[in-house]
Amino acid sequence: MKFIIGIGGVTNGGKTTLTGRLIKNLPNCCVVHQDDFFKPQDQIEFGEDGFKQWDVMTAMDMDAMVSTIKGWMENPVKFARSHGVSVSATNDSDPEREIHILIVEGFILYNYKPLIDVYNKSYYVTIPYEECKRRRSTRTYTVPDPPGLFDGHVWPMYLKHRTEMESNSLDIHYLNGMKSKEELYNQVYEDIQNSLLNAL
């Protein structure tokens, strides 16, 4: 059985931290990080807000992300092996007998039509504005945030994508990113166990 989990949500909500804990504890579990699909800096255009447009879908090479996810769907065992994920003893002729899990983690997951239907379970982490701004100010990305980027681009784009996502009436499970890392992990791990049992 193949099972794809989306972990979407606001920047600095704790998606990567949560994902890291889950992949250590879930069986045969691979991960795709949307952040690995940012286009090179020279392809990111300036917008009317005066900032380079990092927080929009066109900043990502979504075709490449789709290909990667499709690669896992076609052969999760091969994908796992080529990504250094150890897979439990498996009958290669019938991989459906095993559970194979893929976590897709990213900040604009549920706004991209070609991928909207691939998730068996869709989580969305939220934190309030003040906490998000505080956490973000402690981070350094490959391209550091210029002054004013959070209020001028990052937060407004988050609100826009969230509104757009919510207008699509998807089955989204919201997670409160203000809970401790431990509490969040326990909540989601338990929920995934239940979903896997129901899907078997």
Ligand X SMILES: Nc1ncnc2c1ncn2[C@@H]1O[C@H](COP(=O)(O)OP(=O)(O)OP(=O)(O)O)[C@@H](O)[C@H]1O
Ligand Y SMILES: NC(=O)c1ccc[n+]([C@@H]2O[C@H](CO)[C@@H](O)[C@H]2O)c1
Region from 70-78, 119-127, 139-147, 166-174 binding ligand Y, contact rule CB under 6 A: 139-147
Residue 37 DSSP symbol: G
* Residues near ligand X (CB under 6 A): 11-17, 35, 107, 135, 138, 177, 179-181, 184
How far is Cα 103 from Cα 107, in angstroms, rounded to an integer?
A: 13
Beta-ladder partners of 104? 6, 32
From the list 35, 36, 145, 191, the catalytic residue is 35
Round to whole Å and give the CA distance between 82 and 97.
20
- Options 111-119, 137-145, 160-168, 169-177: segment touching ligand Y (CB under 6 A): 137-145
Contact 189, 20 (CB under 8 A): no
CB of 124 to ligand X, least distance (A): 11
* Residue 63 bears catalytic tag: no
State which of residues 142, 167, 169, 180 lies at the interface with ligand Y (CB under 6 A). Answer: 142
Locus of tokens 């090179």: 40
DSSP H or E segment with residue 188? helix 181-199
Binding site for ligand Y (CB under 6 A): 11, 35, 38, 54-55, 107, 141-143, 154
- Which residue numbers are catalytic? 35
